[in-house]
Chain A
């Protein structure tokens, strides 16, 4: 399997990364060089490995109750906000409706 320039553009779009054309072209070679080494894995017999056994430590990721004390914060919420007005947080506008249509 080899990565093409279109692949790099596609995954950069998925990852929300803007790339210049020269950088995208360089990444084609870089990713192909790295992935070439990964192809050795396809030759490994993994038929004895069940999907449920692919954690590093048995029982290492138990779920906990979604409860507990509040996280103590070093500063008030207000102090961390960019601006406050009448008890509300004022944050930069993310986009306009026109922008959303253009980027969808």
Chain B
């Protein structure tokens, strides 16, 4: 099965911006748009018995969400359907985080990102499948079954935001929200052949994002194209007093900036760093070739390609898999049978806690809670957690040093492999290595993006661009120009 190609004769083939304009003109009603998206989901077999992309649908999204736009000028996402990862709070659909412990839980408030989407006229039509509490790299850890890659249903879509990536790849929507802690937007974007963006830490409010590892968590966006992703991020970015890590940096016009700065197809004056640690000797030669071809496109259009080094990159997985489980063990303590969702009676209060949490959490979540509790426990804190935080600082310094040396952007492969077969990785550490090229950006808080740069045996390959803190505009400009330069090469 292959993803449906854009059909210019129908609204399904329009960019998010053009679709918003078409709805604003009255070419289609919001109701028709929602019905069209949900019909495409049915055609693609996106339900739980098929690709298992969507967990919950809101067929009334048009009447509900467009109620917020009455009497005001059409927003930039007017009538644009959006799919949202199941760990972002919504009042109209459950927020279960792919977990039995929150099955059927409905939030009493909307996440700030959801509020901003609705204020821009977007229609939140469905919640997408994910690895339980965002812990995973394949969307196989969901309590509701694995999601399959729409481009190759015997393979994973990546994770943990695999449902959102698959929704865009299957043509159900042009834009979707995901979340990242170690690469959970960029990695599935690479596996599904779509654009995925992780913004700077603090760029998008995390209010309403169910916490996994708070110092690493980000809300990110998926787009069919760079322009779609830019429009979506533009909409949800900006300061929010409800998130104390939110930053008051101004939000530039990413779309206009990208078109203007890149002049459509121009890298003149841009220094692109090629970090040697992301191109190890044992990297799949076919992925290396795709990356080299993308770098050549940039060079031919004026970019200066410079070999650089980020020397602590090889420690990132170890640092990440100490800090993230440590923070998760604290954040997930709130799921105890008292305040949220599932409750299993046991002997006494402790018995109820243990029975509820054991029945509610899956194997990977249990493993990470235990790992996190261990590295934070007396006698091990300094050796593991404190040490990991110190090495994290060194990783962040690596990025600062490279950008301070005059490098504008870094370019790397997003993942060391293409989408792997369902069930292929049973060893937890082997699965963790899927994040090897992505988790560094989360540890350093810098913005990064994956975009399609080609295919191997029909499976997409993602190229990753990384910028300095709050450098999203440069990221979009380069990605837009590269997308134009690659053209159909990104599909072969």
A and B pair up:
yes
> Which residues of A does B touch, CB under 8 Å?
1, 3, 7-8, 10-12, 14-19, 27, 30-31, 33-35, 37-38, 40-42, 44, 46, 49, 51, 53-57, 60-64, 68, 71-75, 80, 92, 94-95, 99-100, 102-103
- CB distance A64 to B244 under 8 Å? yes
- CB distance A40 to B318 under 8 Å? yes
In B267-282, the 8 Å CB interface with A consists of none
Q: Which residues of A contact B429 (CB under 8 A)?
A: 33-34, 37
Q: Which residues of A contact B109 (CB under 8 A)?
A: 71-74
Q: How far does the alpha carbon of A73 sit from the alpha carbon of B305 in the complex, in Å? A: 52
- CB distance B241 to A80 under 8 Å? no
Closest to B244 in A: A64
> Knowing A11-B370, A41-B318, A46-B394 touch, does A16 contact B347 (C-beta < 8 A)?
no
CB 8 Å contact bits of B354-381 with A (1 = contact, 0 = none):
1101100100001101110110010010
- CB distance A17 to B108 under 8 Å? no
- CB distance B389 to A54 under 8 Å? yes
**Which residue of A7, A11, A16, A40 is within 8 Å of B350 (Cβ)?**
A16
B425 CB, min distance to chain A CBs, angstroms: 14
- CB distance A19 to B390 under 8 Å? no
The answer, yes or no, to whether B460 is at the interface (CB within 8 Å) is no
The answer, yes or no, to whether B294 is at the interface (CB within 8 Å) is no
> Which residues of B does A touch, CB under 8 Å?
91, 107-110, 200-202, 215, 241-242, 244-245, 247, 312, 315, 317-319, 321-322, 329, 333, 336, 338, 343, 346-355, 357-358, 361, 366-367, 369-371, 373-374, 377, 380, 383-384, 386-394, 396, 427-429, 432, 443-445, 469
A-B contact pairs, 18 of them (CB 8 A): A8-B370, A14-B373, A17-B357, A17-B366, A18-B346, A18-B357, A34-B321, A34-B432, A35-B374, A40-B315, A41-B388, A44-B315, A49-B394, A54-B390, A56-B445, A57-B202, A99-B347, A103-B350
- CB distance B318 to A60 under 8 Å? no
Q: How far does the alpha carbon of A95 sit from the alpha carbon of B345 in the complex, in Å? A: 10
Q: Which residues of B contact A44 (CB under 8 A)?
A: 312, 315, 387, 390-391, 394
